[in-house]
Structure 1
Amino acid sequence: MSQFTVTGRFENRDGYAPFETSVDAENENVAREYVLSRLGSQHGLKRTQIELEEVDPQ
Structure 2
Amino acid sequence: MNFIVKGTFKAGEKWEHFTKTVASQNKNSAFEKAYSLIGSEHGLRRTLIKIESAEEEKA
Q: TM-score range by the shorter chain?
A: over 0.9
- Which residue matches 1:12? 11
- TM-score, structure 2 normalization: 0.92
Runs ≥4 residues deviating over 3 A = none
Residue 47 of structure 1 is matched in structure 2 by: 46
Gapped runs of 5+ residues in structure 2? none
- Structure 1: where are the runs of 5+ without partners? none
Q: How many residues of Structure 1 are paired with residues of Structure 2 in the alignment? A: 57
Q: How far apart, CA to CA, are the structure 2 residues paired with 1:35 and 1:7? A: 9
Q: CA RMSD in A?
A: 0.7
TM-score (norm 1): 0.93
